[in-house]
Amino acid sequence: MFSYPHSTAAKGICHLLFFSHREATDAENQLLGTGRMIEALNKQPDASPEETLSNVMEGIEAFTAGTEQFDDITMMCLRYNGPADPSDPE
């Protein structure tokens, strides 16, 4: 069962769900870690979900350059656009 830590959903905020990313290692066997992940996320704070995923993947690939990937990288980015407008036909 998947459990997501409590978070306040504010309009326009992106939420990144990730699995196994921090286990990525560089040529010196150092872990990617949360700090480097945050750096990749802060590269473009107002990015779309697609751009956010691309920025994070680029950060992982730059960090792990020259090393073999030993695990999958699974990410999902969601942007909360606020409550549905009842007058909107879609």
pTM above 0.75, yes or no: no
Per-residue model confidence (pLDDT) at position 20: 59
pLDDT digits (tens, 9 = 90+) for 46-74: 899 999 999 999 998 999 888 887 777 88
Asked if 75 and 22 touch (Cβ cutoff 8 Å), the reply is no
Per-residue model confidence (pLDDT) at position 1: 44
Kindly report the average pLDDT of the chain as a whole number.
Answer: 81
Q: Which is more confidently placed, 61 or 83?
A: 61
Per-residue model confidence (pLDDT) at position 50: 94
DSSP 18-45: EESGGG-B-TT--B-HHHHHHHHHTTST
